[in-house]
Amino acid sequence: MTLTRRTLAATAFVAAATPVLAKPRPSRPLVIAHRGASGERPEHTLMAYRLAIEEGADYIEPDLVVTKDGTLVARHENEIAGTTDVASRPEFAGRKATRTIDGQAVTGWFSEDFTLAELKTLRARERLPALRPVSAAFDGREPIPTFQEVMALAESESRRTGRTIGVYPEMKHPTYLASIGLPIEQRLADALKAGGLNSRTAPVFVQCFEVSPLKAFRPLSRARTAQLVSAAGGPADARGINYASMITPTGLKRVAAYADGLGAEWPLIVPVVDGGLGPATSLVADAHAAGLGVHAWTVRAENAFLPPKLRRGTVPAEHGDSLALFKALYAAGVDGLFSDFPALAVAARA
């Protein structure tokens, strides 16, 4: 990717009023493809990202972990057995291990034990085959992409489609990675600079569930950042702090000191009440008052992920009434939302 083209794209991006974690507010919320079109293709593959772009996504989201030799790659977790064929590869049987990650013991195969060349011999597969057989039909077709390859895809697809495709990387388990000598923050900042994405108006947001890594990333890059929060628990790196305290008006002001926006689990915005969707909370208004944009995560179409009153039938894999959820979040004033099914999010927005 060239710095010149990325700079021009960023200018067009601002003119189109699509950045959402900076004022003024956009004319329409962003659709962010969660791990690509991950409801239809194995997550974090170039085919999943391509399909998401074809379906109209504004941003594609790569979760980032680090290889043994320091390369950023797109995987939901550093444990890779759930999304690749590594467990069936006899040459890597001896790499199986148990690690303590964010206080939890995890057994499997880990990205940090493989060089990039070794990881590239693996093939991606669907993580939820029982729920997503259509996606599982594409198992084994593609390798793990590097972050550089994801950025290059966004660049080439921006050129091909005539619209700017942004990237929305998440730093996964950064405190753990730093503890084993593979810190992610500087690597990510360097990658964004090399890709021409080191500016406040560049089509990129950097997200994380942890606090300290976002603070550490801040002086390394001008890219906008988002603090992720969920309906339960708290940041793995911050003892004594929970997400509930971070989304109070006072907590949001603290977040605004080091981040540009909030990535909130959708029930924090539109809660589930009596098995259906209740009235919107004040979170979006409170975040906006603190100067933060809000991106909701993650809307999925299957009954298994929807409130009871939005389900259609009793089969978990069947699609329910996700349209109602999309519309409720848009009506609540979110600046964007993540979905495994970008086409549905785009249709609901229209």
319 is an active site residue: no
Task: Report how far residue 115's alpha carbon sits from residue 264's, in angstroms, rounded to the nearest whole number.
Answer: 34
- DSSP-based helix, strand, coil % in the chain, nearest 5: 35, 20, 45
Return the closest-CA partner of residue 296 out of 248, 264, 331, 335.
264
Structure tokens at 230: 């969920």
34 is an active site residue: yes
198 CB-near residues (< 8 Å, 6+ apart): 189, 192, 221, 222, 223
Calculated CA dihedral for residues 263, 264, 265, 270, nearest 10 degrees: -140
Structure tokens at 74: 């797109």
Structure tokens at 264: 């909130």
> Do the beta carbons of residue 229 and residue 263 sit within 8 Å?
yes
Question: CB count, 10 Å around CB of 161?
Answer: 12
Task: Report how far residue 231's alpha carbon sits from residue 279's, in angstroms, rounded to the nearest whole number.
Answer: 16
> Do the beta carbons of residue 225 and residue 22 sit within 8 Å?
no
Q: Which of 44, 76, 173, 319 is catalytic?
A: 76
b/e 186-224 (16+ beta carbons within 10 angstroms → b): ebbbebbbebbbbbebbbbbbbbbbbbbbbbbbebbbbb
Residue 336, amino acid: G
Query: Exposed, middle or buried by CB within 10 Å (0-12, 13-18, 19+), for 132?
Result: buried
In the chain, how long is the greatest CA-to-CA distance? 55
Give the residue numbers marked as catalytic.
Answer: 34, 76
